[in-house]
Amino acid sequence: MKRFPLLLCLLALFFTPACATKLIPGTMIEDTDEARQILDVMRAYTEALEARDIEKIVALASVDFFENAGTVEGEDDFDRQGIEPKLKAWFSHFKSVRSRIEVRKITFEENPEGEIVKAAVVYFYDISFQVPEGNGSDKLVWRTESDTKEMVLQLEEGMWKILHGI
C-alpha cells in the first residue's frame, strides 16, 4: 500500500510536462498568435527607433495614441500628431541610437464578446545614444538610459497599434 502514493506521484511528474504551457523561446511569455504579433510590433518599434525612422514609428501608433510620458504635468503630453515633432526634436540631439527591448510580460484584455482587443506589455529597455560632449566640442560620447516601462497596444482593423508607452 505504501507504493501506491509513490506511484501516483511518479505518474503525476511524468505527465506534468505534457500539460505545461508552451513558451516563446527565450521568454517567459505564453506562445500564442497574439503574443507573437505583439513581439513583432515591439521588434518593429525597436528597429524604427534605431533607424530613427519617424514615419515607421508613427505608422505603429494607434489613431487614439496619447502619451503622458508618465508624468502629471501636461506640457510633455502628446497625441499621434505630436509624435513626429517630439521625435524630430529628440533625434536632432543624437547622432546614433542603439536600443534593446526585452518583453517581460504581456497581459491581454478582452471585450464583452470575449475577443482580445488590448494588450499591456511590460518591457525593459536599454537605449544608448551618441551625443556631442558639450562645451562646443565636436567629440561624440555615448549616453545610456534603461528602465522598465509599460506599453499598451490595441487591435485596430486586425493590426496591433501602440496606444501609449513609447
CATH of the domain at 152: 3.10.450.50
Tell which wins on pLDDT, 1 or 29: 29
CB atoms within 10 A of CB 161: 18
Note the pTM of the prediction, 2 decimals: 0.81
DSSP code at position 32: -
Range of the domain at 51: 28-164
Q: What is the pLDDT of residues 15-29, one digit of tens each?
A: 555 556 898 888 889
Report the alpha-carbon angle 66-100-56, nearest 5: 45
Residue 111 phi, psi dihedral angles, 5° rounding? -85, 175
> Is position 5 within any domain?
no
Query: Is residue 34, in this structure, part of any structural domain at all?
Result: yes
Is residue 8's pLDDT more than 80? no
Give the tens place of pLDDT for each residue, 26-82.
Answer: 888 999 999 999 999 999 999 999 999 999 999 999 999 998 866 677 777 888 898
Q: Is residue 138 part of a domain?
A: yes
Total domains in the chain come to 1
In a domain, 107, yes or no: yes
> What is the rounded distance in angstroms from the CA atom of residue 9 to the CA atom of residue 87?
58
